[in-house]
Amino acid sequence: MPDEGLPAAATEDAGPAAPVVEDYDAFISYTHKPDHAMAKAIQRGLLSLGRKAWRAPSLRVFRDEETLYNTGNLPTTLQRHLDRSRYLILVASPASAEAPYVRTELAYWLANKPCERILIAVAGGGISWPQQNTDFDWTESTALANDVFAGKFTETPLWSDFRGLTDKKGQPLTLRDDRFLDQIAKLGARLHGVQKEQLVSIERRNQRNALRLAWSVAALLLALAVTAGLLYFEADEQRKEAELRAREATSRRLAALSRTVQGKDGSLQYLLAAQAQRMAATTEARGALFEAAAGSDRQRVLQGTQSLARLVGHEQGVKAVRFSPGGARAGTVDGLGAVRVWATGAAGDPVAVPGLKEPRLTFTADGEFVVSDGSRLQWRDAVSGAVRENRDLGFVPAHIEWLGSGRTVLAAGPDGTVVAARPDGGTDRAPDSGSSAVTFLGSPAHAEVAVVATADGAVTVRRKKDLAVEARWKLDPGAGRPVAVSADGSRIAVLDDAARQPARDAVGVPVVSVRSTKDGKQVGLVRTSEYYIPKDAAFIGGSSRVVVVTSGGVDGAPGQLLTADPAKDEPATSPGVAVPTTAFTVRSSDDGRRVLVGGGDPTAYVNAIGPQDADFGASVLPEGITPVLPLSVAGATGRIVVRQKGEVGFADIGTGKPGATVKTTMVTAGERAAISTNGRWLITPTGDVFDLQDPAAPERTGQIPKPVGGLDFDGSGDRVAYVAGPEDLVVADLPSLAVQHGSAGRRLCSASPCQAVVALSPDGQLLAVRTESENGTSGKLPPGADPADSPADYGRTPLVLISLRDGWNVRAVLDLAEPGPVEFQDDRTLLVQAGTSLLTVDAAAPTKPPVTRSADQQGAWSFGAGRADKDLAIAGQCKVSLTDPLTWGEIATVPYDGVHTDGGCDAAFAAWAGETLLTHDGGDCYQPASGECPLRRWNTRAEQLVPRVCALAARNLTAGEWSQYLPDWPYERTCPEFGKPSASTSVAPAAGAGSATPVAPGPGSPTDSSPGPAASSATPTRTAAPEPTRTPPTAPSGESAGAHPPGSVPTGTGGCTPGRSELYRCTVGKRDGAPYQDTPSGKPLEGTVTQGEHPFRCQKRGPAHTYGAFHNDWWARVVLREATGDGGWVNAVYLSGGANDEPVPGLPVCTTG
């Protein structure tokens, strides 16, 4: 078989027979895989050996690039080249020994030319000719074919050993390497008929001369380039500076615009924030991105839901909704018997079918929908609405669902009858009927079962293939009604009876129970923090999560969408997007990214379910585990101190993937502890020291003097400094438990607990101590005190710098007003918070006035490790603010949790784990029905927030939006994973924004996922490798055959480019290769056409072909072997450029069959 990955190159045209003249010095025979690179390097080395740079090669060496064959017949072109060659160079390896075409070339040579003219270049395997032998040692010579060479040589042949002569990337070396030069010279000496040493000497002299010449030319060019470059550089720098300023100004303007549309048009807010970041990485763009991702409140973070569009046009309430397989279309049914089918990927008028009698609706995967009109089923085209087939069931169905394959539809009658109806008239009836009227029918497309529920509470699970009963069980009276089946058919969601209010349990109010379809046992619950009246529920895509639609709370609150994972027993405490109070039906798309809501309102609502990002707003710790405050993060694993039921321990929040269960370990009894910067040592308030090096088995190593005040660790984490008494400072070495006592030369504090603050430099040699005021523990005036009658030192606190290297020498005492937290940024820079200001003290020159910077808000400051110029979070009352350390302005506000017991706000806490922000809203913060507020993780990196908001927007800016917001910049896709919306596409406003025309979600949303990455636009395009990225249009283009006459070259975006010999270069985008066949309607050929560029001849129409969401009836002729013209036909869905049902741009239409 031919090797895969064979590169294409020109071959010589076959010409008339000519007298055999040995005008080639050598013919290189090799296998293209894996020896292609080495064969090419050998040819290049032979042609360059001993040649001056400006002269033509003195040798002619033939190396075939593409002619492969797997038969015993040697192509005529290769026969002629072998006949015209003086020597044959065999690139020997185990692969070449097995390659049929190499063996054929050797056999031809041995039959027509002397064996002594075969030169062997060993690229792999073994080769051995023992002394005094008359043949190779065939047990060692795996690089050669025994049956070809056995007994052929009468004396030891010449071979060069190229094994191992490659660089770090596996590429062959060049003549500049002495080892490679020596082996090439062996071959070259025979071809040139000179001594090897002579060739080596000439080559090295030529290399030296070439180097001298290159340096001379380079010096001249450099002089010219410097002169021109200086002139150009100044102009270019000015241009770049002007463009940068323009981009920064545009970024700030877009960031501000993003905030102005917040809560009005979610997708536009996301896109403006993302484009602001793409224009320039300003702090304003970062803040807009964070707020867009987080939303104006915490609901959007926790629920991930966002109102996307309204479907307007019904005259009465929407009583049923459905998504098509893949979610490309949405169907709605109103109370007047009107059915509408909407394209969710682009705007436009829906397909409307009015005046049906008791209509039921479902979709098949064949571009059609099925509706009932009384007892008749109609299979209709999803684009035009035209009836394809029409048949009578003999009864009026209460429910219909697609079977999941073909065009068969399951229909359930009011008497419990279940049938599988086909458009050709065939009907399969269930062998038994239910006991009462059918109230629910669920048939997940990819499941092997369908689920039927009847009014008496019976639930029957039937096999789709024969409708036989696989399981049957019964719900308890009052347990609720089934409303949804999971994608795999293993679980059923039962909505709690809306007529009664369920009792609250320890977690919340149960509204949906999830049960096993096998036996009816409960496997999960969906609870809410308050009682909302549940109306419907659906499983979100193929996940275990459930979305519930409510019609409002008992106090008249608006309807809500709630999401939760019943398997995790997590309460859906935070309502997402508000929906009409009359909402009572909901469905999810197959990919789980959208939900469709209907109800008493004549408008249906499409809502996007955003990415459930465990690294953005997710709770970090398992239930019942709370962090010890204030937050402190240590070590590469992100280790923090936690507590649970009177025990204190640690959790490694940085290990594993975000969202994975964090492993916690309780170490000892207590409520508080401190952890070292390296995460190894845990110190309790009593001075007990625990070694955490083995997280599974913490070990108590001893005890140090009891800390009574501020405590800090050095950069290594093995030294700790703290206050041990009113005048006693301690520095302890934790591995040895050695303790040093010292003094600050003054009293540190007068009360217990001691309020003095200690900071230890990263190198452990400098200690900063902020003592208490001599007239008060806080350093501030007592409440109600008159400053005029108070001591002068009220509100001022000494900060003492102590050199441990010099034996507890007090280096300086600084008198500061209202000092707060103190920390070392590095070994000589001390950061001191004083009110709303930050003082930067040079510890090496403490008498210099500190640099003062002021912020807009007050709170505890937290800098990211080593990133004091970029990462700053200020934790204040009931909020945490991301702040710009350069301007000290607020970038964004982090969403907060819950309420507080005193009705006010407690101090929040923040800490950095690498580039991730951890927040907690205070020890007094709690959430109804779920206890204390959780520790949350926030990804604040703008470059990682862009994909998140793009996933929420699920589209790009339209041309109209771009011209409105960025009129001076050329259009670019804000979200590269989505296509550019077509010129005719309009984007719907969010719910409540007001719309007078029927609209659908913006284009580019990946409603139909394919094996490749999500793509998309309303008119999809094929892009370059690695995958064709297109989303199907809302309707086939309807291209007529006459639009592309034979010989014409279709135009469009991307596609093919002219090649040589009337061929065109086209790109196969499928990563694992595209299938091909002998004719468009013929048989598949073995193997695939590999990813990348290949020569193609033309294209023509044939049978329609589908790959995921892509479909096309154009086929392109690929030429895999230009010497013979062999190849096949590849469907256009696998090629870059063009769109669904359109030809590949740049490739001519075939003039003949």
**Secondary structure string (H, E, C) spanning 83-116:** HCEEEEEEEECHHHHHCHHHHHHHHHHHHHCCHH
- Cα separation, 76 vs 83, in Å, equals 11
CB 26 within 8 A of CB 46: yes
> Which CATH number, 3.40.1050.10, 1.10.1240.10, 3.40.630.10, 3.40.50.10140, labels domain 24-194?
3.40.50.10140
* Other beta carbons less than 10 A from residue 503's beta carbon: 8
- Cα separation, 937 vs 922, in Å, equals 15
Whether omega for the bond prior to residue 354 falls within 30 degrees of 0, making it cis, is: no
Identity at 383, one-letter amino acid code: V
Give the strands of the sheet with 899-900, arranged side by side: 899-900, 925-927, 931-932
Q: What is the pLDDT of residue 997?
A: 27
CB 318 within 8 A of CB 297: no
- Cα separation, 449 vs 487, in Å, equals 10
Query: Position of tokens 């085209």?
Result: 381
- Cα separation, 1088 vs 971, in Å, equals 37
Residue 819: closest CA among 778, 876, 766: 778
Q: What is the pLDDT of residue 731?
A: 95
End-to-end CA distance of the chain: 28
CA atoms within 13 A of residue 1148's CA, in its CB half-sphere: 14
- Cα separation, 569 vs 526, in Å, equals 7
Identity at 778, one-letter amino acid code: S
- Cα separation, 621 vs 660, in Å, equals 10
Residue 1077 DSSP symbol: B
- Cα separation, 938 vs 4, in Å, equals 47
What is each CA distance from 501 to 24, 478, 527, 559, 570, in whole angstroms? 94, 11, 12, 16, 20
In sequence order, the β-bridge partners of residue 598 are 585
- Cα separation, 863 vs 868, in Å, equals 6
Main-chain dihedrals φ then ψ at residue 283, nearest 5 degrees: -65, -30
- Cα separation, 283 vs 882, in Å, equals 10
Q: What is the pLDDT of residue 561?
A: 75
User: Which 3 state secondary structure label does DSSP give 229?
Assistant: helix
Residue 634 DSSP symbol: B
Tokens found for residue 325: 């397989």
Main-chain dihedrals φ then ψ at residue 97, nearest 5 degrees: -65, -25
Residue 381 host element (H or E): strand 376-381
- Cα separation, 730 vs 715, in Å, equals 17
Q: Which of left, alpha, beta for 1016 (phi over 0: left; psi -120 to 50: alpha)?
A: left
In sequence order, the β-bridge partners of residue 817 are 796
Q: Give helix 196-260 / helix 266-279 axis angle, nearest 10°.
A: 140
Tell me the fold of 704-780+794-854. Answer: Methylamine Dehydrogenase; Chain H (2.130.10)
Residue 458: closest CA among 444, 438, 478: 438
CB 1021 within 8 A of CB 1003: no
Residue 501 DSSP symbol: -
How many contiguous H segments (helices) and E segments (strands) does the chain have? 12, 69
- Cα separation, 871 vs 873, in Å, equals 7
Identity at 982, one-letter amino acid code: S
Q: What is the pLDDT of residue 304?
A: 38
Residue 216 host element (H or E): helix 196-260
Tokens found for residue 904: 């006010």
Length of the chain (residues):
1153
pTM beyond 0.75: no
Which residue ranges does the chain devote to CATH 2.130.10.10? 356-474, 704-780+794-854
Residue 285: closest CA among 270, 269, 273, 271: 273
* Other beta carbons less than 10 A from residue 1057's beta carbon: 13
Cβ density class 255-293: b for 16+ within 10 Å, e for less: bebbbebbbebbbbbbbbbbbbbbbbebbbbbbbbbbbb
Q: Which of left, alpha, beta for 132 (phi over 0: left; psi -120 to 50: alpha)?
A: left
Residue 40 DSSP symbol: H
Residue 1041 DSSP symbol: G
Low-confidence stretches of the chain (pLDDT < 50) are 1-15, 296-306, 347, 499, 554-556, 574-576, 610-612, 775-794, 867-868, 901, 928-930, 984-1041
Main-chain dihedrals φ then ψ at residue 1073, nearest 5 degrees: 90, 150
- Cα separation, 217 vs 212, in Å, equals 9
- Cα separation, 975 vs 696, in Å, equals 44
Tokens found for residue 285: 């763009």
- Cα separation, 42 vs 872, in Å, equals 59
Main-chain dihedrals φ then ψ at residue 276, nearest 5 degrees: -60, -40
* Other beta carbons less than 10 A from residue 993's beta carbon: 14
**Secondary structure string (H, E, C) spanning 776-810:** ECCCCCCCCCCHHHCCCCCCEEEEEEEECCCCCEE
CA atoms within 13 A of residue 457's CA, in its CB half-sphere: 11
Q: What is the pLDDT of residue 990?
A: 34
User: Which 3 state secondary structure label does DSSP give 389?
Assistant: strand
CB 395 within 8 A of CB 414: yes
Does domain 356-474 fall into CATH 3.40.50.2300? no
CA 632 to chain centre: 30
- Cα separation, 286 vs 883, in Å, equals 11
In sequence order, the β-bridge partners of residue 368 are 381
Radius of gyration of the chain, Cα coordinates, nearest whole angstrom = 38
